[in-house]
Every structure is written in C-alpha cells, then in structure tokens.
Amino acid sequence: MKILWIKVGGLWPPNTGGRLRSLHILAELSRHHRVTVLTTHTRPEEAAALRAWLPQGAEVISVPYVSPKWRSLRFPWLLVRSWFSRLPVDVYKSRVPALGRAAERLFAAGQADVCVADFLCALPNVPHACPVPVVYFSHNVEHMIWKRLCANAASFWQRLPLALEWRKMRRYEARASREARLTIAVSETDRAALAALAPEAEIRAVATGVDISYFAPRPPALQQPERMVFVGSMDWQPNEDAMLYFIDAILPLIRRSVPAAALSVVGRNPSERLCRAAERAGVDVTGTVDDVRDFMAEAAVYVVPLRIGGGTRLKIFEALAMGKAVVSTTVGAEGLPLEDGRHFLQADAPRAFADAVLALLRDPARRESIGSAGRSLVEERYSWPQVAAEFESFIKPCAGPEEKALRSAGTIAAQAPG
C-alpha cells in the first residue's frame, strides 16, 4: 500500500499529543507499507530530524511554513479575511500553496493509493479532485474546542468572534466527514459526535496509545509527597486555561489543608500571563525540558484540570504508563476508557477537584493502587503497535482493488473540502 500522509504544522519535535500520535502510527505503518510524508517545518533541522526518526524507507517532503499564532500581529488580519470565506480561521490560515502543489505532483506520478489528511487543517491542501481515497484523521472534534473557548471567554467581545468561528468550524467539520472516504476519530466519544454531524459518513474510532517502554514507572522514592505536576504544550490555549484555572481556583483550596503543596507546570512556550500568575502563587513553570519523565516521577499526583478541549489526552495515558495517580476533569478524561475511582479520580468543581487531590496526597497506598491499575490498563490494550494495527485495518480497504474499480467507474466522489 502506498500512503501519502499530509500534515500542516510539522511533526517534529514530538512535543504535542497530536504529533506523538501521528509519529507512532506513521512509524508502524512505514515498517509494512510505502509511506510518503508531506508536511511543513519552521526550521530545516526539524525535517532532517523527522527523516532520521522514521524507519528507513519512509520518504519525507517538507516545505517551510510558520503558522500565525493567536496573539501574533498577523492573526487578526487573517481572522477578518476568513470572515469572507466559508473556511474557519484555523483552517483558512493552514492553506500552504507549496504543499498543495507537491501533493498534485505526487498524485500525478502515481505515488499514492490512499491519502491521509492528518487533522482538519490538512484538508485544504488536498487537491479538490483527488484521484485516490481521502482518509480524514480527526484528532479532535474541532468545533467543540471552539465552542468551549466561547463558553469560557471573559467578555462579550471575545465571545462574539468565537461564536462565529465554532459554528463555521462545525459546518466545515461536517462537510469534511461527509466528503472523505473514511474519517478516523480517536475515541468512541468523538466518533459519535462526528456521526451526529454527518450521519451518512463512514466514521471509525481508534484508541489513543502510549509508548509503554519509554513511559515506565520510576522508583517511589523519587516522589515528593506534596508535589503535583501538569504536562502539556503551554502555547495551546486549553492547557493555559487549565493552569490559570487551577492556580486561581483550586490550588488555594489545596493549600488550606496542605500549605506546602507544590505544583510543576511542564511544557513549551508558557505565556507571560501564565508566568506572572505562577510567580504570584509560587508555582514552578519550566518551559521546554529535555525529559518530562523526570518531573512526572517527582510528583505524587498528576493533575489535568482541563475545561476546554477535544479528542483524547495522551498526557493521561503517559501518566498512567508511569504508574501515576491522576485527577482529571470530565473534559480532561473525555473519550478515554477509564473507570473513575479505579484508574483515576474525576472531579470538575474546584472544591471537588481539590478534595480529590488532597485524598491522594494523604494516602500513598491509594496512589499506588490507582497508579498500578492505570499501568496495567495501558500495558494490556494501548501500546502503539496495537493502535497502529487497528488504524491500518481501517485504511487498507480504501486502497484495495474494489475501491479502485469503483473510482475508475466514477461511482465514488473524489474531492476534499477546501
């Protein structure tokens, strides 16, 4: 099978959940199939590192591109321009002409039996009359992220553009699922949400995975009994919101009972706003680190106070793989096959979240029990080879001879939304 994998925003370094999921699935697919990765980079060394990391035989074609960030000077202008398009701004800003031209050349040369559009923002770079089946790999139900951003916005003037964006995103997401040959979601929860948008679409779900050899338990003696940790890319707004919420509403409640309670916030590109809030609260913000496992090993409790988000959180599976006791909101654990009270503790309101953390800080035996149950779960069912095999089983029929015959007869539409 010849697979063309298109990803805007790069795949290296492996410092986000989406990149990790894609990289591990790509690595497994590359061992058995001819894979061409068409992606973007901000620095040439990122493309070189990606080539070196993937198994020999995988081809990487990468073009330079820097995506405008929320707080950049370019973003407001792009937002206004996108209002005159049916594309939501997050998709509008991800159109990369060089990427589209490269895809057209590869299709013309017969270099693909199937095309995987990795995330919604990859789809505008798939040629409209795509000659091979398109598989949309949906890591999140994107419009739900924007809807939750709108619900948590501080003012009417922030909510107004977000209200427009989440509705545009919902329409585009429904169209993408309908027009793709197959949509792959990352949880049954997401699959059901996308199926509600596009009942006629073929939508399957694959589980989240984890590298169980890399993320493995460390000696309990390394734990600091009053330390908590959160790991995530801090330039992703839902993560920043989670930490500001935790510092403002939850941490003071914990410290009333455990004054020495400490928190490490580990992840790239923390904003000045977060750093100021952390400094006032005596919270450690690390920025990018060489190895997140060192900080996870020190913590007695791993916290995931997300209020905004979609898809599934790889950070929770990584914590479970290390045998950590996790406290998460409903949104944080959304779509994961976890049992509250056995694999983690679930709490949403600030008081309930603080009480769950305190219960674990005070009870080492319970921490160990929950951590062991989580480790056993991911060992049994969620290693990356298992997840990639399921992904492969879904896309393989799309590239089969029956599918090719149908497309040659013109009975299957060949287009991607743009």
d(CA 261, CA 342): 24
pLDDT exceeds cutoff 50 at 110: yes
- Is 71 within 8 Å of 95 (Cβ atoms)? no
pLDDT exceeds cutoff 80 at 238: yes
**Region 205-228 average pLDDT:** 94
In the structure, what pLDDT confidence band is assigned to residue 135 with cuts at 50, 70 and 90? very high
d(CA 133, CA 179): 10
In the structure, what pLDDT confidence band is assigned to residue 152 with cuts at 50, 70 and 90? confident
pLDDT digits (tens, 9 = 90+) for 314-334: 889 999 999 999 999 999 998
pLDDT of residue 372: 97
Contacts of 378 (CB under 8 A, 6+ apart): 210, 212, 317, 320, 321
pLDDT exceeds cutoff 90 at 82: no
pLDDT digits (tens, 9 = 90+) for 368-392: 999 999 999 999 989 999 999 999 9
93 CA to centre of own chain = 19
- Determine the 3-state secondary structure of 124 from DSSP: helix
Task: State the virtual CA torsion across 189, 194, 198, 202 in degrees, nearest 10.
Answer: -80
pLDDT exceeds cutoff 50 at 412: no
The pair of structure tokens assigned to 97 is: 């002409």
pLDDT exceeds cutoff 90 at 89: no
**Region 77-92 average pLDDT:** 79
In the structure, what pLDDT confidence band is assigned to residue 17 with cuts at 50, 70 and 90? confident
In the structure, what pLDDT confidence band is assigned to residue 407 with cuts at 50, 70 and 90? low
Surface-to-core class of residue 402, CB atoms within 10 Å of its CB (0-12 exposed, 13-18 middle, 19+ buried)? exposed
pLDDT of residue 245: 97
pLDDT exceeds cutoff 80 at 309: no
**Region 106-124 average pLDDT:** 96
pLDDT exceeds cutoff 60 at 408: no
**Region 30-40 average pLDDT:** 96
Tell me which of 70 and 340 has the higher pLDDT.
340
- Is 231 within 8 Å of 324 (Cβ atoms)? no
Phi, psi (rounded to 5 degrees) for 94 = -100, 10
- Is 54 within 8 Å of 60 (Cβ atoms)? yes
pLDDT exceeds cutoff 90 at 146: no
**Region 247-257 average pLDDT:** 98
The pair of structure tokens assigned to 68 is: 């405008």
For the chain, count helices (H), then strands (E): 17, 13
pLDDT exceeds cutoff 70 at 403: no
The pair of structure tokens assigned to 173 is: 């997401």
Specify the range with the lowest mean pLDDT, choosing from 12-26, 58-72, 184-198: 58-72
**Region 382-411 average pLDDT:** 77
Tokens 């805007």, located at residue: 8
The pair of structure tokens assigned to 311 is: 């898809």
In the structure, what pLDDT confidence band is assigned to residue 156 with cuts at 50, 70 and 90? confident
Tokens 């990018």, located at residue: 288
pLDDT exceeds cutoff 90 at 78: no
pLDDT of residue 413: 43
pLDDT of residue 72: 64
**Region 272-282 average pLDDT:** 97
Reply yes or no: is the peptide bond before residue 13 cis, omega within 30 of 0: yes
**Region 333-353 average pLDDT:** 94
d(CA 94, CA 250): 36
Q: Which amino acid is at 329?
A: T
pLDDT of residue 50: 97
In the structure, what pLDDT confidence band is assigned to residue 241 with cuts at 50, 70 and 90? very high
pLDDT exceeds cutoff 60 at 414: no
**Region 208-233 average pLDDT:** 94
